[in-house]
Structure 1
Amino acid sequence: MRFKGRSVIAFVLLGMFVSSIMTLTVVRSNLFPGVSKSVGVAAPGASSSLSSQDVSKIAKTYELIENKYLSDVDHDKIMNGAINGMLEALEDPYTVYMDKEEAKQFTENINSSFQGIGAEVTAEDGRIKVVSPIKGSPAEKAGIMANDIVVSVNGEKLDGLTVNQAVLKIRGEKGTQAKLEILRPGSSDPTQVTIVRAEIDIETVFAEMLEDGIGKIEVRQFSANTGDHFKKELEKLESQGMKGLIIDVRNDPGGLLNVVIDMVEPFVPKGKPIVQIENRDGKKEATTSKGGTKNYPVVVLTNKGSASASEILAGAFKEAVGSKTIGETTFGKGTVQETYVKEMGDGSNIKMTVYKWLTPDGNWIHKKGIEPDIKVEQPAFFKASILSKKDTLKPDSNNDDVKNLQLMLTGIGHAPDRTDGYYSAKTAQAVKAFQTSKGLTATGEVDIATAKKLETAVLEAIKLPKNDNQLKAAVKELQTQLSK
């Protein structure tokens, strides 16, 4: 099964780039005949659609609300609520209704530039969770991390909202502020983070030659031009004598299905499946390779922010090519959505889960992710929470802020004697050493100015290759393979 020539596309609610996770979305596809059924009212007794009694109950409920409810009601609000209620009953965060404004945003955001904070979000258990920040974005610079919970924005709580509703509150014009309350796993209290929205141009492919003829290509998102850029960068590395390749899809939330297929195919032997699609009846169809010619070793770097199309890439290399995956278990997004626009008739739309996607061996990774062949954790300071900055941290304090302070100090080379959250004398000495190195008054206490300098230093340390345990493991694995 080939997707070329069909209207099969995967895209994200870029939502001025605070958005839902990249969703593999089928747009009016004929992939499986009969899946897209007409919507109508069935004859009495029919079970496949709404009966006349069903329609009567819905109409009567609206009539009662309109005529009897204590206050006047907004027609559109009630109708949207009814549709959202039906879809929410499916308990699928990727099946959503979009009113006219949200649908317009959805359509407009299939672009490669946008305004916003630069973080992918999804809904989970009634809360808005970060899938991954975009590298170089305001969100990443502010210290937002995968799995952070966005509690509120500019004082408005997000609990219970759909992803689209939350996106509309978080998005905004460049130069405006988004004051987020962030709750990080392991922390008991949320932290306020102020992020200035910006114009974000997505550069999706970055390549470099490392030691021993090992090339590295980082893919940050699978957009329309990613495949072409990937091919060009790959050819450059090959012309430089590349012997082995690292493909880095960490914190890559996904993108276009046809793009990831085209990128993977040159590595997959002829006739082997790249990905499989399964419909509600269990019918499966596979996209098979026409014949890959690349024969050098490849390893794939993944983490918890690798989702959707990134997982298709990782699964194809793992099962169809035999490459090693290194890092952390991926996000676990194994469904495909279809958008219904014409059916709604008023500019709104429904994006509904209609297929599963499976790995070459037929594995469904939804809510499980792809486990790495070689599990490698990053240094502990990579997961340190942003400091709350509610109070100046002083000796003899004992709380989560101090624990995160100690992890940060350790990561930037000013290790205290402990990391359990107690502000010891040696912790104060480490703070003084840091303050002196940054031209701050060496008080040994952490005020707002020191906290901001510390967070900036940590973000810089995270970017250094010498601190990237997963990248070092990938290089070592390729060196071992090349030495055989």
Structure 2
Amino acid sequence: MSVPRSPKPRSGTLLGVSVGLVLGVSASFAVTVHAAKDQNGIPLEQIQTFSQVFGIVKSHYVDPTSDKKLMDGAINGMVSALDPHSAYLTPKELKEMQVFTNGKFGGLGIEVTGEHGVLKVISAIDGTPAAKAGIEPGDIIIKIDHKALQGIALQKTVDMMRGKPGTQVTLTILRPHQTQPLTLTLTRAIIKVQSVRSAMLAPGYGYIRISQFQENTGSATRKAVEHLEQEANGHLKGLILDLRNNPGGVLGAGVETADTFLNKGLIVYTKGRTDDSDMRFSAHGPDYLHGAPMIVLVNGGSASAAEIVTGALKDDHRALIMGQRTFGKGSVQTVIPLSNGGALKLTTALYYTPAGCSIQSEGIVPNIEVQPSNARLRALDADLLKESELHGVLKAPDECRKATPRYTIAPPASATVATPTAATESTAADEAIAASSTLKPNLVKDYPLREALAILQNQAVPVQEKGRSVTMVIPLPKAVGQ
């Protein structure tokens, strides 16, 4: 997630000084270190060790190695040791990231993370080659074009999946709870991500799906609400906002999206070590829904900016949150330009929901817990990678971690029978990207969406209570100021 502003590096920062020292010390191994740190707090002894390693590798490594490769590797190692989201971006990688946030890039449309040498899928972006091929959250990619990925850096694997539009790439995938690997051949495309789509689920009841948060997502969401209002003859009775498997994106877009549904109140605030890391974002109104009730659908793949929106609408009592606990990515990354044309993507703050809860490594607990409609889908959801499972993850003290769902929707009777056949089963991708091929979500296959609509229409739903299922109407929140 990128903060929509990049602070300029202060003059005389450690970055500018330390590079000069490294180059100076590396010229001679005979430098005597008289103090652990100089007056600016620079660790001279560690810098000398780095210089020695640099010189030994240059002299003795089996293949000649360029200074650039070694220095880039050293910077990468330094930054990646901090947490899973800080990274050094080369000029090429920075350009690719900027293209991604603008919503147009080449490739497959797949969000991945590297963990312990494993390439794991977070989500496939709606309507992209990856989504159309049926790639699911939790899938593990073990080969690209029949080349094993063990020991290959994350960015290199991403580069291997990208390429000229129209060319093909073959992925070998391990899917949880399946014994045989899957081999999928995808055709690369220019990914023009339409992050916001909408449809009418029933007369007067709208649906908006946000697949990720790009720079224009906030304005696109407002246009979608206005369009639904017109379809409803000027009066929407309710709205379902679908953020399932939304990996996040631009912080400002998440703030603007939350503001679309609020008249007032805090949306999110951040806290870090420096003054410019402490920010507060509040709603300005108006509420484009005019107080109509809302339900937000989330799951373990809802992360980052999606969690900002979810937390704001939950804590401000604007919407009911329904689904499963979210991913738990509650840190802010600032993109700081570097003199070589690249940038440092550095974790500079943690963000907090209006109630003061940090969701870092914890996620947001829904008001209403609802599981997918059959055993296989529930198992797949349980296998979704969580922030807390990432190597080197930041932990945040949180008084809100004891929160539990207020209601739990009982699974349908069909969920207790044997696993459905491939011909009748809705896959995890079906439920997560129900609107990928058309604007009309599939209420027959998408059980959580179907139950959300019933709640929005004030219909009774099956709720688990004291070990048994009872039918009840779940009350909807009223918008503040209505």
TM-score normalised by structure 1 residue count:
0.73
| Candidates 250, 267, 273, aligned match of 1:274 | 267
AA in 2 matched with 1:243: K
AA in 2 matched with 1:370: I
Structure 1 counterpart of 2:205: 214
User: Aligned partners of 2:179 and 2:45: how far apart in 1?
Assistant: 49
Aligned pairs for 1:29-428 within 5 A: 29=7, 39-41=16-18, 45-46=37-38, 49-90=41-82, 92-239=83-230, 240=232, 241-270=235-264, 272-280=265-273, 284-293=278-287, 294-342=290-338, 345-380=339-374, 407-411=421-425
User: Aligned partners of 2:441 and 2:149: how far apart in 1?
Assistant: 31
Q: What secondary structure is seen at the aligned counterpart in 1 of 2:365?
A: coil
Equivalent residues of 1:250, 1:305 under 8 A apart: yes
Point out where structure 1 has 5 or more consecutive residues left out of the alignment: 1-22, 386-403, 413-458
| Candidates 433, 451, 468, aligned match of 1:473 | 451
TM-score normalised by structure 2 residue count:
0.73
AA in 2 matched with 1:349: A
Equivalent residues of 1:99, 1:349 under 8 A apart: yes
AA in 2 matched with 1:362: G
User: Aligned partners of 1:279 and 1:198: how far apart in 2?
Assistant: 39
Matched residue count: 394
User: Aligned partners of 2:368 and 2:304: how far apart in 1?
Assistant: 20
Structure 2 counterpart of 1:454: none
Point out where structure 2 has 5 or more consecutive residues left out of the alignment: 22-34, 381-417, 427-435, 459-474
Shift of 1:237: 2.2
Deviations 1:42-90 (A, max 9, x none): 9863487433333332222222222233432232222222222222322
Q: What secondary structure is seen at the aligned counterpart in 1 of 2:280?
A: strand
User: Aligned partners of 2:281 and 2:144: how far apart in 1?
Assistant: 42
Deviations 1:411-459 (A, max 9, x none): 27xxxxxxxxxxxxxxxxxxxxxxxxxxxxxxxxxxxxxxxxxxxxxx9
Equivalent residues of 1:244, 1:482 under 8 A apart: no
Compare 150-159 and 135-144 and name the one that shifted more. 150-159
Equivalent residues of 2:117, 2:150 under 8 A apart: yes
User: Aligned partners of 1:463 and 1:238: how far apart in 2?
Assistant: 18
User: Aligned partners of 1:321 and 1:252: how far apart in 2?
Assistant: 22
Q: What secondary structure is seen at the aligned counterpart in 2 of 1:109?
A: helix
User: Aligned partners of 2:123 and 2:377: how far apart in 1?
Assistant: 14
Over 3 Å counting, the alpha-carbon distance change for 1:33 and 1:333 in structure 2 is: farther
Deviations 1:379-409 (A, max 9, x none): 3365799xxxxxxxxxxxxxxxxxx995424
User: Aligned partners of 1:477 and 1:177: how far apart in 2?
Assistant: 44
Deviations 1:82-102 (A, max 9, x none): 222222322x22111233432
Shift of 1:125: 3.3
Deviations 1:89-120 (A, max 9, x none): 22x22111233432332344333222211111
AA in 1 matched with 2:42: L
Equivalent residues of 1:212, 1:479 under 8 A apart: no
Q: What secondary structure is seen at the aligned counterpart in 2 of 1:467?
A: coil
AA in 1 matched with 2:361: K
Over 3 Å counting, the alpha-carbon distance change for 1:118 and 1:70 in structure 2 is: closer
Compare 373-382 and 282-291 and name the one that shifted more. 282-291
User: Aligned partners of 1:483 and 1:262: how far apart in 2?
Assistant: 21
Equivalent residues of 1:337, 1:352 under 8 A apart: yes
Equivalent residues of 1:301, 1:327 under 8 A apart: yes
Equivalent residues of 1:39, 1:49 under 8 A apart: no
User: Aligned partners of 1:467 and 1:171: how far apart in 2?
Assistant: 32
AA in 2 matched with 1:408: A
Over 3 Å counting, the alpha-carbon distance change for 1:74 and 1:37 in structure 2 is: closer
User: Aligned partners of 1:483 and 1:263: how far apart in 2?
Assistant: 19
Equivalent residues of 1:118, 1:200 under 8 A apart: yes
User: Aligned partners of 2:279 and 2:251: how far apart in 1?
Assistant: 15
Q: Give aligned-pair identity as a percent.
A: 34
Equivalent residues of 2:371, 2:378 under 8 A apart: no
CA-atom RMSD in angstroms:
3.3
Q: Which has the higher helix share?
A: 1
Q: What secondary structure is seen at the aligned counterpart in 2 of 1:81?
A: helix
User: Aligned partners of 2:154 and 2:361: how far apart in 1?
Assistant: 18
Deviations 1:281-310 (A, max 9, x none): 798542122344431111101122222111
Over 3 Å counting, the alpha-carbon distance change for 1:156 and 1:350 in structure 2 is: farther
AA in 2 matched with 1:255: G
Compare 45-54 and 145-154 and name the one that shifted more. 45-54
Aligned pairs for 1:448-463 within 5 A: none
User: Aligned partners of 1:211 and 1:26: how far apart in 2?
Assistant: 37
Deviations 1:212-267 (A, max 9, x none): 52111111222222222221221232342211111111222222222221222243
Structure 1 counterpart of 2:388: none
Over 3 Å counting, the alpha-carbon distance change for 1:233 and 1:71 in structure 2 is: closer
Q: What secondary structure is seen at the aligned counterpart in 2 of 1:221?
A: coil
Are residues 1:28 and 2:6 paired?
yes
Equivalent residues of 1:218, 1:249 under 8 A apart: yes
